[in-house]
Amino acid sequence: MKSLRSLPFAALLALALSLVSSPSLRAEALPVVGPAPAWTLTALDGKPIGLAELKGKVVVVDFWATWCPPCVHEIPGYIALQKKYADRGLVIVGLSVDRKGVSVVEAFAKAKGINYPLAMATPETVEAFGGVEGIPTTFLIDRDGKIRHKKVGSMEADDYEKLLAPLL
């Protein structure tokens, strides 16, 4: 399987745009609930972030990029959900697949007012989650460290809230 890093920008953009407009691919409940992979990265703030650090939390892991229109469309909703549910144990984590590096993601995060941890995705992290065929790809992990939902493509915040709220 090709990784996101090996695909041309135009192909990734076309895939992202096609997924957001395809209702059948917008959200896919995992047929078998399984454990989330162990992963640890260094967040943009320099602190470690990963499954072990987030134990006992409801975690949304979002693979995204600054240049991806559906990804950018979801960010205000994630900001609102993080603000609304942080005190109930929700942590949204954005794992950027941007190729231009940390400085681009930091500037973007500051401009958008992102209030949740961000890190740069590594090929190992992408593979640990079973690969990412398109972005955004988002995993919902419950307090016990089990993946409860996977979506490829964009989803409106109100719809996504309906999926995650019962886990809080």
Res 5: pLDDT: 54
Asked whether residue 134 is domain-assigned, the answer is: yes
Asked whether residue 49 is domain-assigned, the answer is: yes
| CA nearest to 58, candidates 166, 137, 158, 151 | 166
Asked whether residue 91 is domain-assigned, the answer is: yes
- pTM comes to 0.81
Note the pLDDT tens digit of each residue in 30-83: 344 579 999 999 999 999 999 999 999 999 999 999 999 999 999 999 999 999
- Beta carbons of 149 and 137 less than 8 angstroms apart: no
Name the average pLDDT for the chain. 86
Asked whether residue 25 is domain-assigned, the answer is: no
Spell out the SS3 assignment of 59-105.
Answer: EEEEEECCCCHHHHHHHHHHHHHHHHHHHHCEEEEEEECCCCCHHHH
The more confident residue out of 151 and 27 is 151
Note the pLDDT tens digit of each residue in 91-100: 999 999 999 9
- Would strands 34-35 and 40-42 be described as parallel, antiparallel, or unpaired? unpaired
Question: In whole angstroms, how large is the CA radius of gyration of the chain?
Answer: 15
- CATH number, residue 39: 3.40.30.10
Number of domains in the chain: 1
Query: Where in the sequence is the domain holding 118, given as residue range(s)?
Result: 4-20+30-167
Query: Is pLDDT at 115 greater than 90 in this prediction?
Result: yes
Asked whether residue 153 is domain-assigned, the answer is: yes
